[in-house]
Amino acid sequence: MSDPSWLIQHWGYIAIFGVVILGNMGLPIPEETILILAGYLVWEGQLQLPIVLAIGFVSAVLGDNLGYWFGRELGRRAIERYGHWVFVTPARVDATQQVVARYGPMAVFVGRFVPGLRFLIGPVAGITGLRPLPFIVANVLGALLYVPAAVGVGYAIGLGLGDYLAQVKQPVAQLDHVVPIVVICLTITFLLWRAPRAAR
């Protein structure tokens, strides 16, 4: 959205939970953006820090565990069959699988901090056969550091640039009703374009 606070302002803590859990399940959604934004809104006083941290942590851990379970139960074939819808290629799965196979739980821990790798690490860890307990430990430890760090970045932005951003938000807020319509139209167009190719 042109006004990046639109999602949280309309859906509140539910938006944080939904975006973070989907981004950790295996969808290429930049959940770090919603956490940074949440930190900024904590600085503004619109959100409560303990609730943001709790929701961010729970949704990050739960999303990664669900992604791990999907990979473990459905296997690589499912990811290769449907991955093209979210721009996941077999080569990308191969590269991630090699990292997980080589570094094990450490790859899960570090992968949480790497955009582009974070959303794949759970499902690929399940495919690779990483044992559940090491995965869960690495997942929880990563979330304990990652979520406060991302929220802290947003809070720091508020401390440093909050007054300036508040002035910029006023004219931009007028586009609130226009931008969602444009995004929806572009999404529908993209799906209609992809559908015939997927069917072939």
Assessment of whether the complete model's pTM goes beyond 0.95: no
Helical ranges in the chain per DSSP H:
6-11, 13-25, 31-44, 49-82, 90-103, 105-111, 118-128, 132-172, 178-199
User: CA-CA distance, 89 to 179, in Å (whole number)?
Assistant: 30
Token pair recorded at residue 92: 């990308």
Averaged pLDDT, 130-149: 94
Q: Among 101, 118, 98, which Cα is nearest to 26's?
A: 118
Render pLDDT for 178-197 as a digit per residue (tens, 0 to 9): 445 555 666 666 666 655 55
**Predicted local confidence at residue 169, as pLDDT:** 53
Q: What is the CA radius of gyration of the chain?
A: 18
pLDDT for 80 beyond 70: no
User: CA-CA distance, 121 to 123, in Å (whole number)?
Assistant: 6
**Predicted local confidence at residue 171, as pLDDT:** 42
The domain limits of the chain are: 6-174
27 falls in which pLDDT band (50, 70, 90)?
confident
